[in-house]
């Protein structure tokens, strides 16, 4: 009898073992895709107050309300007959609060900016905020005129959120305030900043801290070179390169998540959103992942989009975090303004859900 060739015996053996093990090897784990949260999106489809606005950061207040901060916004310009809003925003910044039932209350007084400016031709764009006792501190960037690299903080009385004043700080041409959080255990506030930030380039990101009960006390700045907190501000070293001004860092379940978004701030640009994670606020930020590719489009053109932001307080039962990003129209690629009015959904934020395991398998 002829002997079977060795290679044929191996093939038969592999087939036999495969049959024996069938059903014992778990199928490939497929992570759920990122998705638009249409329910959450509906909370921002207001027909009065803030009808549309760019960006939004959020802060959970001590009474359970959420403070939402916007940049350029539309106030009370919704036309119920046509379902449209004015083409141009009418305030430079705006704010709303939401309660447990997501009833939204606009905080702007009349047609004024939420954070007022006493300089003609200059205005504030809110970044992020924190609350300490009876004061809410809102970090902001001043725009208009020549580039301004001071750090500004607007103060509001809690719980009525009435404006008190704006303070400014100079920290080596770095705008701090894009993310801020308090660490009650150590008594510090931590705040991230960008050095001479620009929307069309990569920007160096820095981290500082201050006594949380005294914003005006001496700040310290993190040096990656020495792995320590240093003074003066020029001793800080960059923790990461940020595309444009598109980043958000929040702590979720003992990990620090860094979100970034491609820069561009123009149609057909900036559609990819990424994440990295770190065990500490100062890094190292690793595990770089593509989370989502923005799918909004009109006649094959994607809109102006930027301002990715993480809102960890709205983690749902499926372990999906809430992420928002800005949609700011399709012009100049596709002009959509007609007779002074436009579609409000071309200027409203998007609310995205992403599973934590998509961000980091260790979750």
pLDDT at 1 over 50: no
DSSP track, 197-216: --TTSEEEEEEEEEETT-TT
Strand order in the sheet with 247-252: 247-252, 255-261, 272-278, 286-293
Q: Residues 41, 47, 53, 59: what is their CA dihedral angle, to the nearest 10 degrees?
A: -60
pLDDT tens per residue, range 52-89? 999 999 999 999 999 999 999 999 999 999 999 999 99
pLDDT at 26: 45
pLDDT above 90 covers a percentage of the chain that reads 88
Q: What is the pLDDT of residues 17-31, one digit of tens each?
A: 444 433 343 445 566
Question: What integer pLDDT is reported at residue 20 of this predicted model?
Answer: 41
Average pLDDT over residues 134-158: 95
3-class SS at 299?
A: coil
Q: Residues 240-255: pLDDT tens digits? A: 999 999 999 999 999 9
pLDDT digits (tens, 9 = 90+) for 286-311: 999 999 999 999 999 999 999 999 99
* Sign of the dihedral through C-alpha 260, 313, 181, 75: positive
pLDDT computed for residue 273 by the predictor? 98
* Integer Cα distance of 64 and 319 in angstroms: 21
What is the C-alpha to C-alpha distance for residues 67 and 99, in angstroms, rounded to an integer? 9
Residue pair 245/197 in contact (Cβ under 8 Å)? The answer is: yes
Tokens representing 317 are 């039962």
User: With bands split at pLDDT 50, 70 and 90, how would you rate the model's confidence at 258?
Assistant: very high
Residue 102, SS3 per DSSP: coil
What would the pLDDT profile of 193-215 be if each residue is shown by its tens digit?
Answer: 999 999 999 999 999 999 999 99
Q: What's residue 33's pLDDT?
A: 82
Whole-number Å distance between alpha carbons of 326 and 306:
5
Contact assessment for residue 193 and residue 150, using Cβ atoms and an 8 Å cutoff: no
pLDDT at 30: 60
pLDDT band at 119 (very low <50, low <70, confident <90, very high): very high
Is residue 328 over pLDDT 60?
yes
Predicted TM-score (pTM) of the model is 0.90
Give the whole-angstrom CA distance, residue 260 versus residue 205: 12
Average pLDDT of 9-19?
Answer: 43
Fold exhibited by the domain 37-359:
Tachylectin-2; Chain A (2.115.10)
- Token pair for residue 21? 């093990």
Q: What pLDDT does residue 8 have? A: 42
| pLDDT over 60 at 12, yes or no | no
Please check the confidence at residue 219 and state whether its pLDDT lies above 70: yes
CA dist., res. 175 & res. 150, Å (int): 6
State mean pLDDT over 220-249.
Answer: 97
Residue where the block lists tokens 């038969």 = 12
């Amino acid at each position: 009898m002829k002997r079977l060739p060795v290679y044929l015996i191996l093939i038969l053996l592999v087939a036999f073992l495969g049959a024996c093990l069938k059903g014992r090897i778990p199928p490939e784990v497929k992570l759920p895709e990122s998705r638009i949260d249409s329910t959450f999106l509906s909370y921002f489809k207001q027909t009065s107050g803030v009808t549309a606005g760019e960006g939004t950061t959020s802060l959970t207040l001590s009474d359970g309300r959420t403070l939402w901060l916007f940049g350029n916004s539309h106030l009370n310009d919704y036309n119920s007959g046509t379902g449209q809003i004015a083409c141009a925003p009418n305030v430079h910044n705006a704010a709303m609060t939401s309660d447990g039932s997501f009833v939204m209350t606009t905080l702007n007084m009349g047609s004024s900016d939420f954070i007022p400016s006493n300089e003609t031709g200059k205005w504030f764009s809110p970044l992020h905020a924190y609350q300490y006792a009876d004061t809410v501190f809102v970090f902001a960037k001043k725009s208009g005129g020549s580039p301004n690299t001071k750090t500004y903080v607007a103060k509001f009385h809690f719980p009525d959120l009435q404006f008190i004043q704006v303070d400014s700080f100079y920290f080596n041409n770095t705008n701090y305030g894009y993310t801020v959080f308090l660490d009650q255990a150590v008594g510090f506030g931590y705040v991230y900043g960008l050095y001479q930030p620009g929307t069309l380039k990569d920007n160096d990101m820095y981290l500082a801290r201050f006594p949380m009960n005294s914003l005006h006390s001496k700040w310290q700045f993190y040096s990656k070179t020495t792995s320590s907190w240093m003074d003066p501000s020029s001793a800080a070293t960059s923790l990461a390169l940020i595309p444009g001004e598109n980043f958000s860092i929040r702590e979720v379940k003992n990990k620090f998540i860094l979100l970034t978004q491609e820069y561009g701030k123009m149609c057909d640009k900036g559609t990819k959103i990424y994440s990295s994670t770190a065990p500490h606020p100062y890094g190292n930020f690793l595990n770089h992942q593509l989370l989502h590719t923005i799918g909004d489009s009109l006649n094959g053109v994607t809109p102006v989009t930027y301002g990715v932001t993480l809102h960890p307080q709205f983690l749902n039962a499926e372990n999906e975090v809430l992420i928002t990003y800005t949609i700011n129209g399709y012009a100049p690629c596709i002009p959509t303004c007609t007779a002074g009015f436009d579609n409000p959904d071309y200027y409203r934020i998007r609310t995205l859900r992403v599973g934590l395991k998509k961000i980091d398998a260790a979750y």
